[in-house]
Protein backbone atom coordinates (compact mmCIF):
# COMPACT_ATOMS: atom_id res chain seq x y z
CA UNK A 1 0.00 0.00 0.00
CA UNK A 2 1.62 3.26 -1.15
CA UNK A 3 1.22 6.19 1.26
CA UNK A 4 2.42 9.61 0.16
CA UNK A 5 4.08 11.28 3.15
CA UNK A 6 7.36 13.17 2.66
CA UNK A 7 9.35 16.31 3.46
CA UNK A 8 8.07 16.50 7.04
CA UNK A 9 9.95 16.64 10.32
CA UNK A 10 8.94 13.74 12.54
CA UNK A 11 10.05 12.80 16.05
CA UNK A 12 9.95 9.09 16.92
CA UNK A 13 10.33 8.48 20.64
CA UNK A 14 11.72 5.06 21.45
CA UNK A 15 13.09 5.18 17.92
CA UNK A 16 15.82 2.61 18.60
CA UNK A 17 13.30 0.01 19.74
CA UNK A 18 11.64 -2.67 17.65
CA UNK A 19 8.64 -0.70 16.37
CA UNK A 20 10.31 2.71 16.61
CA UNK A 21 13.32 1.78 14.50
CA UNK A 22 11.12 0.32 11.79
CA UNK A 23 9.11 3.56 11.77
CA UNK A 24 12.30 5.68 11.61
CA UNK A 25 13.55 3.68 8.64
CA UNK A 26 10.22 3.91 6.78
CA UNK A 27 10.01 7.67 7.31
CA UNK A 28 13.61 8.35 6.25
CA UNK A 29 13.10 6.20 3.15
CA UNK A 30 10.12 8.38 2.23
CA UNK A 31 12.27 11.52 2.35
CA UNK A 32 11.35 12.90 5.77
CA UNK A 33 13.62 14.42 8.39
CA UNK A 34 13.49 12.08 11.36
CA UNK A 35 14.57 12.65 14.95
CA UNK A 36 14.94 9.65 17.22
CA UNK A 37 14.77 10.10 21.00
CA UNK A 38 15.87 7.04 22.96
CA UNK A 39 17.61 6.28 26.27
CA UNK A 40 18.76 2.81 25.10
CA UNK A 41 17.37 0.99 28.13
CA UNK A 42 15.55 -1.40 25.80
CA UNK A 43 16.40 0.14 22.39
CA UNK A 44 19.49 -0.95 20.44
CA UNK A 45 21.88 1.11 18.33
CA UNK A 46 22.18 -1.68 15.78
CA UNK A 47 18.46 -1.25 15.01
CA UNK A 48 19.39 2.12 13.47
CA UNK A 49 22.38 0.92 11.45
CA UNK A 50 20.64 1.35 8.07
CA UNK A 51 19.93 5.06 8.65
CA UNK A 52 22.38 6.27 11.31
CA UNK A 53 24.56 8.05 8.75
CA UNK A 54 21.68 9.43 6.69
CA UNK A 55 21.67 13.24 6.61
CA UNK A 56 17.90 13.22 7.24
CA UNK A 57 18.29 11.29 10.50
CA UNK A 58 19.17 12.75 13.92
CA UNK A 59 19.68 10.71 17.08
CA UNK A 60 19.11 12.32 20.48
CA UNK A 61 20.09 10.20 23.45
CA UNK A 62 17.66 11.23 26.14
CA UNK A 63 14.86 10.12 28.43
CA UNK A 64 11.16 10.94 28.22
CA UNK A 65 11.13 11.12 32.03
CA UNK A 66 13.18 14.32 31.66
CA UNK A 67 11.01 17.18 30.40
CA UNK A 68 14.04 19.09 29.06
CA UNK A 69 14.90 16.14 26.81
CA UNK A 70 11.33 16.07 25.49
CA UNK A 71 11.37 19.83 24.83
CA UNK A 72 14.70 19.57 23.02
CA UNK A 73 13.47 16.72 20.83
CA UNK A 74 10.14 18.34 19.85
CA UNK A 75 11.55 21.73 18.86
CA UNK A 76 10.59 22.48 15.23
CA UNK A 77 8.87 19.11 14.79
CA UNK A 78 5.72 18.69 12.66
CA UNK A 79 4.59 15.32 14.00
CA UNK A 80 5.36 13.00 16.92
CA UNK A 81 5.15 9.21 16.82
CA UNK A 82 5.37 8.33 20.50
CA UNK A 83 6.59 4.73 20.83
CA UNK A 84 8.75 5.05 23.96
CA UNK A 85 7.49 2.91 26.84
CA UNK A 86 8.45 0.10 29.16
CA UNK A 87 6.53 -2.81 27.68
CA UNK A 88 5.71 -6.20 29.16
CA UNK A 89 2.96 -7.18 31.57
CA UNK A 90 5.32 -9.35 33.73
CA UNK A 91 7.85 -6.50 34.03
CA UNK A 92 5.13 -4.12 35.22
CA UNK A 93 3.95 -6.65 37.81
CA UNK A 94 7.50 -7.01 39.10
CA UNK A 95 8.25 -3.25 39.06
CA UNK A 96 5.09 -1.12 38.76
CA UNK A 97 6.82 2.10 39.85
CA UNK A 98 9.28 2.25 36.94
CA UNK A 99 6.59 1.26 34.44
CA UNK A 100 4.44 4.11 35.75
CA UNK A 101 7.31 6.61 35.72
CA UNK A 102 8.11 5.89 32.06
CA UNK A 103 4.67 5.13 30.66
CA UNK A 104 2.67 7.79 32.51
CA UNK A 105 5.16 10.45 33.62
CA UNK A 106 7.10 10.23 30.37
CA UNK A 107 3.92 10.29 28.31
CA UNK A 108 2.73 13.44 30.07
CA UNK A 109 6.12 15.10 29.47
CA UNK A 110 5.81 14.34 25.76
CA UNK A 111 2.30 15.75 25.61
CA UNK A 112 3.45 18.95 27.31
CA UNK A 113 6.47 19.30 25.02
CA UNK A 114 4.29 18.67 21.94
CA UNK A 115 1.75 21.23 23.12
CA UNK A 116 4.38 23.86 23.92
CA UNK A 117 6.10 23.44 20.55
CA UNK A 118 2.84 23.43 18.57
CA UNK A 119 3.27 19.93 17.12
CA UNK A 120 0.59 19.33 14.48
CA UNK A 121 -0.30 15.81 15.60
CA UNK A 122 0.70 13.40 18.36
CA UNK A 123 0.27 9.73 17.37
CA UNK A 124 0.98 7.30 20.20
CA UNK A 125 1.34 3.59 20.84
CA UNK A 126 -1.64 2.44 22.87
CA UNK A 127 -2.19 -1.20 23.78
CA UNK A 128 -4.65 -4.07 23.46
CA UNK A 129 -4.01 -4.67 27.19
CA UNK A 130 -6.48 -1.82 27.77
CA UNK A 131 -9.32 -4.29 27.11
CA UNK A 132 -8.48 -5.97 30.41
CA UNK A 133 -11.15 -8.34 31.68
CA UNK A 134 -13.66 -7.50 28.95
CA UNK A 135 -14.94 -10.78 27.50
CA UNK A 136 -16.54 -9.27 24.39
CA UNK A 137 -15.16 -10.56 21.10
CA UNK A 138 -13.92 -9.20 18.79
CA UNK A 139 -12.60 -6.21 20.71
CA UNK A 140 -14.18 -2.92 19.65
CA UNK A 141 -12.63 0.38 20.70
CA UNK A 142 -15.57 1.63 22.75
CA UNK A 143 -15.97 -1.47 24.96
CA UNK A 144 -13.18 -2.05 27.47
CA UNK A 145 -12.93 -3.80 30.82
CA UNK A 146 -10.85 -3.31 33.96
CA UNK A 147 -7.05 -3.52 33.48
CA UNK A 148 -5.36 -6.74 34.59
CA UNK A 149 -1.82 -5.40 35.14
CA UNK A 150 0.05 -2.21 36.05
CA UNK A 151 1.17 -2.00 32.40
CA UNK A 152 -2.45 -2.02 31.22
CA UNK A 153 -3.29 0.73 33.73
CA UNK A 154 -0.50 2.93 32.36
CA UNK A 155 -1.60 2.49 28.76
CA UNK A 156 -5.21 3.33 29.61
CA UNK A 157 -4.06 6.45 31.46
CA UNK A 158 -2.24 7.46 28.25
CA UNK A 159 -5.54 7.41 26.39
CA UNK A 160 -7.22 9.51 29.08
CA UNK A 161 -4.41 12.09 29.05
CA UNK A 162 -4.43 12.28 25.24
CA UNK A 163 -8.17 12.89 25.28
CA UNK A 164 -7.82 15.66 27.85
CA UNK A 165 -5.00 17.35 25.91
CA UNK A 166 -7.08 17.21 22.72
CA UNK A 167 -10.08 18.84 24.41
CA UNK A 168 -8.21 21.27 26.65
CA UNK A 169 -5.29 22.40 24.49
CA UNK A 170 -6.37 21.51 20.95
CA UNK A 171 -3.50 19.06 20.42
CA UNK A 172 -4.46 16.55 17.73
CA UNK A 173 -3.94 13.00 19.04
CA UNK A 174 -4.45 9.49 17.69
CA UNK A 175 -3.91 6.36 19.77
CA UNK A 176 -3.09 3.04 18.13
CA UNK A 177 -3.92 0.00 20.24
CA UNK A 178 -1.31 -2.48 19.04
CA UNK A 179 -2.15 -6.18 19.14
CA UNK A 180 0.87 -8.49 19.57
CA UNK A 181 3.20 -6.90 17.04
CA UNK A 182 6.03 -9.01 15.62
CA UNK A 183 8.66 -8.87 12.89
CA UNK A 184 12.21 -7.86 12.01
CA UNK A 185 14.38 -6.34 14.77
CA UNK A 186 12.24 -7.64 17.63
CA UNK A 187 14.60 -8.79 20.38
CA UNK A 188 14.45 -12.55 21.07
CA UNK A 189 16.53 -12.29 24.25
CA UNK A 190 15.92 -11.22 27.83
CA UNK A 191 13.38 -12.02 30.53
CA UNK A 192 10.61 -10.06 28.80
CA UNK A 193 11.12 -11.12 25.19
CA UNK A 194 7.95 -11.34 23.09
CA UNK A 195 6.73 -14.82 22.28
CA UNK A 196 7.39 -14.98 18.51
CA UNK A 197 11.08 -13.97 18.46
CA UNK A 198 11.66 -16.06 21.58
CA UNK A 199 10.09 -19.16 20.02
CA UNK A 200 11.95 -18.53 16.76
CA UNK A 201 15.36 -18.27 18.39
CA UNK A 202 14.75 -21.34 20.56
CA UNK A 203 13.57 -23.50 17.66
CA UNK A 204 16.51 -22.38 15.50
CA UNK A 205 18.87 -23.39 18.32
CA UNK A 206 17.14 -26.77 18.76
CA UNK A 207 15.89 -25.76 22.23
CA UNK A 208 12.42 -26.67 23.49
CA UNK A 209 10.14 -23.62 23.69
CA UNK A 210 7.76 -23.29 26.64
CA UNK A 211 4.09 -22.60 25.90
CA UNK A 212 2.29 -21.18 28.92
CA UNK A 213 -0.85 -23.19 29.72
CA UNK A 214 -2.47 -25.58 27.26
CA UNK A 215 -1.62 -23.40 24.25
CA UNK A 216 -5.23 -22.45 23.55
CA UNK A 217 -4.85 -18.82 24.58
CA UNK A 218 -5.27 -16.86 21.36
CA UNK A 219 -3.84 -13.61 20.01
CA UNK A 220 -4.36 -11.29 17.05
CA UNK A 221 -0.72 -11.37 15.93
CA UNK A 222 0.15 -8.29 13.87
CA UNK A 223 3.11 -8.00 11.50
CA UNK A 224 5.25 -4.86 11.75
CA UNK A 225 4.44 -3.60 8.24
CA UNK A 226 0.74 -3.41 9.16
CA UNK A 227 1.73 -1.22 12.11
CA UNK A 228 3.88 1.05 9.93
CA UNK A 229 0.91 1.48 7.59
CA UNK A 230 -1.40 2.45 10.48
CA UNK A 231 1.08 5.04 11.76
CA UNK A 232 1.55 6.63 8.34
CA UNK A 233 -2.21 6.76 7.76
CA UNK A 234 -2.60 8.44 11.16
CA UNK A 235 -0.16 11.14 10.06
CA UNK A 236 -1.83 11.95 6.76
CA UNK A 237 -5.54 11.81 7.58
CA UNK A 238 -7.40 15.11 7.37
CA UNK A 239 -10.76 13.62 8.34
CA UNK A 240 -11.87 15.42 11.54
CA UNK A 241 -13.76 12.33 12.65
CA UNK A 242 -10.56 10.28 12.39
CA UNK A 243 -8.60 12.51 14.82
CA UNK A 244 -8.66 12.58 18.65
CA UNK A 245 -9.66 8.96 19.03
CA UNK A 246 -8.14 5.47 19.32
CA UNK A 247 -7.92 2.55 16.91
CA UNK A 248 -7.20 -1.15 17.06
CA UNK A 249 -4.14 -2.01 14.98
CA UNK A 250 -4.20 -5.69 14.17
CA UNK A 251 -4.90 -8.08 11.33
CA UNK A 252 -8.39 -8.83 12.60
CA UNK A 253 -7.91 -12.57 13.12
CA UNK A 254 -6.85 -14.75 16.01
CA UNK A 255 -4.59 -17.75 16.34
CA UNK A 256 -3.83 -19.92 19.34
CA UNK A 257 -0.29 -20.39 20.61
CA UNK A 258 -0.55 -23.97 19.39
CA UNK A 259 -1.36 -22.68 15.87
CA UNK A 260 1.56 -20.29 16.11
CA UNK A 261 3.97 -23.06 17.05
CA UNK A 262 2.78 -25.21 14.14
CA UNK A 263 3.35 -22.40 11.65
CA UNK A 264 6.80 -21.63 13.04
CA UNK A 265 7.88 -25.24 12.82
CA UNK A 266 6.48 -25.55 9.29
CA UNK A 267 8.26 -22.45 7.96
CA UNK A 268 11.53 -23.11 9.77
CA UNK A 269 11.60 -26.76 8.69
CA UNK A 270 11.97 -25.62 5.09
CA UNK A 271 15.37 -24.27 6.18
CA UNK A 272 16.22 -27.05 8.63
CA UNK A 273 14.02 -30.21 8.65
CA UNK A 274 15.26 -31.16 12.14
CA UNK A 275 13.28 -28.28 13.67
CA UNK A 276 10.02 -30.19 13.12
CA UNK A 277 11.20 -32.66 15.78
CA UNK A 278 11.94 -30.12 18.54
CA UNK A 279 9.73 -30.90 21.56
CA UNK A 280 7.47 -28.26 23.10
CA UNK A 281 7.21 -27.87 26.90
CA UNK A 282 4.02 -26.81 28.70
CA UNK A 283 4.30 -24.25 31.49
CA UNK A 284 1.99 -22.37 33.84
CA UNK A 285 -0.34 -19.60 32.65
CA UNK A 286 1.20 -16.16 33.24
CA UNK A 287 -0.27 -13.77 35.79
CA UNK A 288 -2.00 -10.82 34.12
CA UNK A 289 -2.35 -12.46 30.71
CA UNK A 290 -5.57 -11.95 28.78
CA UNK A 291 -6.87 -15.37 27.63
CA UNK A 292 -8.04 -14.26 24.19
CA UNK A 293 -7.35 -11.26 22.03
CA UNK A 294 -9.12 -10.58 18.73
CA UNK A 295 -9.50 -7.09 17.28
CA UNK A 296 -12.24 -5.55 15.23
CA UNK A 297 -10.43 -3.32 12.72
CA UNK A 298 -13.58 -1.88 11.17
CA UNK A 299 -13.09 1.56 12.73
CA UNK A 300 -9.53 1.88 11.39
CA UNK A 301 -10.65 0.60 7.99
CA UNK A 302 -13.46 3.14 7.81
CA UNK A 303 -11.77 6.27 9.19
CA UNK A 304 -8.06 5.74 8.47
CA UNK A 305 -8.48 3.58 5.34
CA UNK A 306 -6.34 0.97 7.09
CA UNK A 307 -5.86 -2.17 4.99
CA UNK A 308 -3.41 -4.63 6.61
CA UNK A 309 -1.42 -6.53 4.02
CA UNK A 310 0.13 -9.29 6.16
CA UNK A 311 -1.72 -12.15 7.86
CA UNK A 312 0.02 -14.10 10.64
CA UNK A 313 1.28 -16.70 8.15
CA UNK A 314 2.52 -14.11 5.64
CA UNK A 315 4.20 -12.10 8.40
CA UNK A 316 5.81 -15.21 9.91
CA UNK A 317 7.36 -16.15 6.56
CA UNK A 318 8.97 -12.70 6.41
CA UNK A 319 10.06 -12.86 10.05
CA UNK A 320 11.57 -16.33 9.64
CA UNK A 321 13.67 -15.12 6.70
CA UNK A 322 14.91 -12.11 8.68
CA UNK A 323 15.78 -14.04 11.86
CA UNK A 324 17.43 -16.85 9.88
CA UNK A 325 19.76 -14.29 8.32
CA UNK A 326 20.36 -12.19 11.45
CA UNK A 327 20.56 -14.50 14.46
How would DSSP label each residue in 220-271? --EEHHHHHHHHHHHHH---GGGSSEEEEES-S--EEHHHHHHHHHHHHHTT
CA distance 17 to 185: 8
Cβ atoms of 91 and 103 within 8 Å: the answer is: no
CB count, 10 Å around CB of 170?
10
User: Which residue in 10, 108, 87, 80 sits closest to 41, CA to CA?
Assistant: 87
In this structure, what DSSP letter does residue 66 have? Answer: S
Note if 151 is an active site residue. Answer: yes
CA distance 227 to 74: 23
Phi and psi at residue 89, to the nearest 5°? -60, -50
Strand, helix or coil at 308?
A: coil
Among 79, 124, 131, 151, which one carries the catalytic annotation? 151
The residues annotated with a catalytic role in the active site are 151
Amino acid sequence: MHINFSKKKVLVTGGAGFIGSNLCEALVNKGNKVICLDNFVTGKRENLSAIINNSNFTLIEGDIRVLEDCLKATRGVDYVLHQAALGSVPRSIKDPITSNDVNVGGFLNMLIASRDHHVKRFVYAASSSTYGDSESMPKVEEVIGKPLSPYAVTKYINELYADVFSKTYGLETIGLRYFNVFGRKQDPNGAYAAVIPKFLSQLMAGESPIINGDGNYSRDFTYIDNVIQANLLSLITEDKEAINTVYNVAYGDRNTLNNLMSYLKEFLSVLNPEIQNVAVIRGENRLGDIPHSHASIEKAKKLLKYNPQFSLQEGLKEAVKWYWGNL
